[in-house]
Amino acid sequence: MRRWLRLSLVLIPLVCAVGLAFPQEQAAKPAWKEYSYPDDGFAMQAPSQPTLEKQRQATASGNIEIRQYSVDLTKDSGVLMSVSDFPNTNNASSKAILEGAVNGGIQAAKAKKTYEKDIELQQVPGIEFEGETGPYRLLGRYYAPMDAPMSADVHRVLDSLKFIAK
């Protein structure tokens, strides 16, 4: 029997360090809404409709489609939600797969990992991590709902994430 892994990746370039030292004037903030993506099994809140971009990428598990949902929050920050289905995980544990994803993300961003902890969302295991690359800070949360059922400003988007039924 072939096991599939759905890996949800949230990689967030936070406000540039220089931007933190010099706060910008606050513009009128749009109302936040929930956006639901049943085909990818999640919903999240954001101030505007996320933009969807699809791409294919070769991985150790085979050629996969990556679906990326992005939202710009300010001039210097935004959210990128990536969803991928990984066939052929060779019975690896969700912990091993998540650690590999974190390390791959850190390497791809040419960043230095500064923090990592195990997390859980609706009984689905995950890893939260932070990193630094140049003047930017990264905050990411990866989830691996391998055999778990799907049920129904930067931290607000992450905290609004929930899994929904397909």
Per-residue pLDDT of the chain (166 residues; tens, 9 = 90+): 333 334 344 433 322 222 223 344 455 677 999 999 988 888 999 999 999 999 998 776 678 888 999 998 888 788 888 888 776 666 677 888 788 888 888 888 899 999 999 998 888 888 999 999 888 888 888 888 765 443 335 557 767 877 777 6
In a domain, 132, yes or no: yes
Write down the pLDDT at residue 88. Answer: 61
Contact 140, 105 (CB under 8 A): yes
- The answer to whether residue 28 sits within a structural domain is no
Residue 69, pLDDT score: 92
pLDDT of residue 47: 93
For the whole model, what pTM was predicted?
0.64
Decide: 57 and 64 in contact? Cβ < 8 Å: yes
Does any domain span residue 45?
yes
d(CA 156, CA 60): 33
Instruction: Show the 3-state SS of 21-73.
Output: HCCCCCCCCCCCEEEEECCCCEEEEECCCCEEEEEEEEECCEEEEEEEEEEEE
In this predicted structure, what is the pLDDT of residue 143? Answer: 83
3-state helix, strand, coil in the chain (%, to 5): 15, 50, 35
- How far is it, in rounded angstroms, from Cα 105 to Cα 110? 8
Residue 153 lies in a domain: yes
Q: What's the pLDDT at 26?
A: 52
Domain count, the chain: 1
Asked whether residue 80 is assigned to any structural domain, the reply reads yes
The residue to which tokens 């003047």 are assigned: 135
Residue 26, domain member (yes or no) = no
β-bridge mates for residue 64, sequence order: 57
Q: Helix, strand or coil for residue 134?
A: coil
Evaluate whether residue 129 is within a structural domain: yes
Which has the closest alpha carbon to 127: 111, 112, 143, 139? 143
In a domain, 27, yes or no: no
Q: Show the domain range for 8.
A: 4-21+33-163
Q: According to the model, what pLDDT value does residue 20 have? A: 29
Looking at residue 53, what is its pLDDT? 95
